[in-house]
A and B are shown apart, each in its own frame.
Chain A
Amino acid sequence: MIAAVKRWHAVLCALPFFIPSGAHAADDVNGAAHDLARQTAVFAGPGQPVSVEYRNVSSLGPAELGQARGAFEAALKEAGLRVSDVAPVAELRLTLSENQSQYLLVEEARKGDERQVWMAAWKRAEPAAAALPGMALDRKLVWEQEEQILDVAFPAAGMLVLSPSKVALYTPRENGSWALGRAVPVSPGKPWPRDVRGRLRVTGASFQAFLPGVECGGAAEPSLSIECRAGDQPWVLESGSHAALLANFAATRNYFDGRVATGNGLRKTMAPFYSAVSAAEQGRPLWLLAMLDGRTQIFDAWLETVGAIASWGSDIAGTEASCGGGSQVLATRPGDAGEPDAIQAFAIVNHAATPLTAPVEFAGPVTALWPLSATSALAVVRDPLTGRYAAYVITVVCGS
Chain B
Amino acid sequence: MRLMSSPWFAVRNLALAALAATAAAATRPHYGGTLHVQIRQSFETPDPPTAGYGMPDLARAFAITLWEAGRRAVYAADENAAGGRPFLDTVEIEMARPLRDQSVDLELAKTDVVELGPSELRRQPAGRKVWASAPVRLVALVFAPRVEDARIREALALAVDRAAIHNVLLQRQGEVSAALLPQWLSGYAFLFPAAADAARARTLVAGLPAAVRAISLGVEDAAARPIAERIALNARDAGLAVSVVPQAAGADARLVEVRISSLDPALALAGMAVSLGLPEPPRAASPEALYAAERALLEGFHVIPLFHLPDAYGVNPRVKGRPGITPLGEWRFENLWVEGGRP
Contacts and interface: CB of A to CB of B under 8 A. Distances in A.
Interface of A: 1-2, 4, 6, 9, 12-13, 17, 19-25, 57, 59, 95, 97-100, 102, 104, 106, 108, 117-119, 121, 147-148, 190-196, 252-255, 272, 274, 292, 294, 313-315, 332-339, 341, 364-368, 380, 382, 384-385, 387, 389
Contacts of B56: none
B45 interface: no
7 contacts: A97-B187, A100-B265, A108-B191, A117-B291, A196-B84, A254-B31, A335-B26
Given A22-B286, A336-B320, A365-B24, 5 more contacts: A22-B288, A106-B188, A194-B29, A382-B23, A385-B17
Contact of B193 (A13, A118, A380): A13
Given A17-B295, A194-B87, A253-B343, A99 B186 contact: yes
B190 to A, nearest CB: 4
A102 B288 CA distance: 13
Nearest to A331: B26
B169 interface: no
Contact-residue size bin, chain B (C-beta under 8 Å from the other chain) = 35 or more
B287 A337 contact: no
Given A194-B85, A339-B25, A367-B23, A2 B17 contact: no
A272 B188 CA distance: 53
A97 B183 contact: yes
Contact of A255 (B28, B84, B186, B285): B28
Interface in B25-80: 25-31, 79-80
A363 to B, nearest CB: 10
B111 interface: no
Contacts of A19: 288-289, 291-292, 295
Nearest to B9: A59
B25 A341 contact: yes
Contacts of A368: 23
B22 interface: yes
Contacts of A20: 288
A contact face: mostly helix, strand, loop, or mixed: loop
B289 A23 contact: yes
B321 interface: yes
Interface string B173-188: 0011000000111111
Contacts of A190: 80
Nearest to A150: B23
A314 B320 CA distance: 14
Contacts, number: 197
Most buried by B among A192, A274, A336: A336
Contacts of B320: 336-337
Contact of A9 (B16, B79, B195, B292): B195
B259 interface: no
A194 B27 contact: no
A334 B30 CA distance: 14
Nearest to A19: B292
B86 interface: yes
A4 B291 contact: no
Contact of B80 (A191, A196, A315, A334): A191
Given A95-B190, A336-B320, A384-B14, A195 B29 contact: yes
B215 interface: no
A336 B317 CA distance: 11
A99 B187 contact: yes
Nearest to B342: A292
B222 to A, nearest CB: 26
Contact of A191 (B16, B83, B184, B322): B83
Contacts of B190: 2, 57, 95, 97
Contacts of A253: 31, 343
B26 A339 contact: yes
Contacts of B193: 4, 9, 12-13
Interface in B145-189: 163, 166, 175-176, 183-189
Contacts of B28: 195, 254-255, 274, 292, 313-315
Nearest to B292: A19
Contacts of A338: 14, 17-18, 25, 322-323
A102 B287 contact: yes
A33 to B, nearest CB: 16
A117 B288 contact: yes
Interface in B306-338: 320-323, 334-335
7 shortest interchain CB distances as A-B pairs: A387-B20, A23-B286, A194-B84, A9-B193, A313-B26, A99-B187, A337-B25
B263 interface: yes
Contacts of A13: 193
B86 A104 contact: no
